[in-house]
Amino acid sequence: MSDGLAAVNAEPFDETLLDDEEALAHADETLRALAESGARVRREAYAAKQVERGLVELDRPRAVVAAGADARLLRAVLEPWCPVPFVAWPGPGLPGWVGALDLVVVLAPTGGDPETASAVYDAVRRGSAVLLAAPENSPLVEAGRGRDTVVVPAQTGDPLALAVVVLQVLHTLGIGPELSAETVASALDEVASRCSPFLDLSANPAKDIALVLADALPLLWGGSVLAARAGRRVAETLRRMTNRPALASEADHLLPVLEGAPPRDLFADPFADIESPPLRPALLIFDDGAEQPVIQESRQRLLDMAESRDVRAKIVSWTEGPEVARYAALQALGTYAAVYLAVGLGRFQPRT
């Protein structure tokens, strides 16, 4: 198999831990934080209520540059809609052409880092309008204060919650689609309800995904821009939670990995003394309801290849609500699955 994935061997996975109260208790802090995702969106939205008044005097910018946490989420949402050029800039600093006619949006939910700070300093120095989302008492806000700076007071340290609220604020400027933070919060609440640790394997979609990935290397794909981004974020979480590889990419990059999957040995003795058999891939498809023909064609190619190589495939769907709510729900579903996979692998067990 390509990309070095064949070199990884399986660790013991105990599916009974997914419904074991004691095992789940060790992951309580992580699961509780996930369950509070919707509340964090509401808290950020409430704190930002007064921000729109500060935008009244701002004219429509010549261009928008976004920097900081989840700037690429803003790009994914705004690019198809924004009436002016939009750039997600990784930093440091800002592009050379940015000036007084442009708007710089900076997301720093925990106060920022040197690269984010350099974008703020550059924007103030060049006289750009600045929409700065950061904790009010952070040095970044003090450095960025100015006549053309509007501060969104970050409350929770949650990049997604803050990005949702900034998108809602940008709609006021006419450079983003209408977005209700409450619809995103409600979607996250619904995911938390469906993926609760108190629901057993038969009724919990996240535990079911974890079971699919128990002895597998995850390959994640989403057809729309936002579904693909949700897949990338979930892959990051899977790698962090399980110390296993996880690959999120375009269909053309995943197809060779599927094609290279070794055939399953139908005659293998399940009771043979194999301490850690090699992992085979499993395909997760993130479906947010996008129905463009090119997306449907790519999805079918992946499913057909998976079937031909006897690779397990799972479609993770959330097609309710506006696109940002669907994105948030897919990311949350995948994150719950990553936590349950880590529980089954014993990652949350106390080390002796």
pLDDT tens digits along 96-153: 999 999 999 999 999 878 888 899 999 999 999 999 999 988 888 988 887 788 899 9
How does residue 172 score in pLDDT terms, banded at 50, 70 and 90? Answer: confident
pLDDT at 274: 52
pLDDT at 2: 41
pLDDT at 265: 59
185 and 38 Cβ atoms separated by less than 8 Å: yes
pLDDT at 276: 61
Judged by DSSP in three states, 116 sits in: helix
Distance separating alpha carbons of residues 61 and 137, to the nearest angstrom: 27
Which tens digit of pLDDT belongs to each residue from 265-314?
Answer: 555 555 554 556 678 899 999 999 998 999 999 999 999 999 999 999 99
pLDDT at 186: 98
- Which is higher by pLDDT, 50 or 339? 339
Answer whether residue 338 shows pLDDT above 80: yes
How does residue 173 score in pLDDT terms, banded at 50, 70 and 90? Answer: confident
Q: How far is CA 127 from CA 121, 170, 232, in A?
A: 10, 19, 35
pLDDT at 57: 65
- Which is higher by pLDDT, 267 or 51? 51
- 145: its two tokens: 């204060």
H helices of 36-180, in order, are 37-47, 51-54, 71-78, 114-126, 139-144, 159-172
Hey, which residues does 317 pair with through a beta bridge?
Answer: 287
pLDDT at 1: 43
- Mean pLDDT for the chain overall: 89
Distance separating alpha carbons of residues 167 and 113, to the nearest angstrom: 22
State the chain's maximal CA–CA distance in angstroms.
73
Percent of the chain residues past pLDDT 90, beyond the cut:
70
Average pLDDT over residues 142-167: 90
Question: Which strand (E) or helix (H) includes residue 36?
Answer: none
Least confident among 58-62, 216-220, 294-298: 58-62
**Range 40-181 classified under CATH 2.60.200.30:** no
Q: Where in the chain is the domain with CATH 3.40.50.10490?
A: 2-27+197-344, 40-181
Average pLDDT over residues 234-242: 96
pLDDT at 267: 54
Average pLDDT over residues 64-69: 91
116 and 140 Cβ atoms separated by less than 8 Å: yes
pLDDT at 3: 42
Answer whether residue 35 shows pLDDT above 50: yes
Distance separating alpha carbons of residues 53 and 33, to the nearest angstrom: 32
CATH superfamily of 2-27+197-344: Glucose-6-phosphate isomerase like protein; domain 1 (3.40.50.10490)
pLDDT at 128: 93
How does residue 176 score in pLDDT terms, banded at 50, 70 and 90? Answer: confident
Distance separating alpha carbons of residues 352 and 350, to the nearest angstrom: 6
pLDDT at 80: 87
132 and 150 Cβ atoms separated by less than 8 Å: yes
User: Whose CA is closest to 128, among 153, 154, 106?
Assistant: 106
pLDDT at 10: 64
Answer whether residue 250 shows pLDDT above 80: yes
Distance separating alpha carbons of residues 281 and 283, to the nearest angstrom: 7
Residue listed under structure tokens 């729900």: 329
Q: Which of 77-81, 259-263, 271-275 has the highest mean pLDDT?
A: 77-81
How does residue 6 score in pLDDT terms, banded at 50, 70 and 90? Answer: very low
Percent of the chain residues past pLDDT 70, beyond the cut:
90
How does residue 352 score in pLDDT terms, banded at 50, 70 and 90? Answer: very low
On the CB side of 166, how many CA atoms lie within 13 Å of its CA?
35
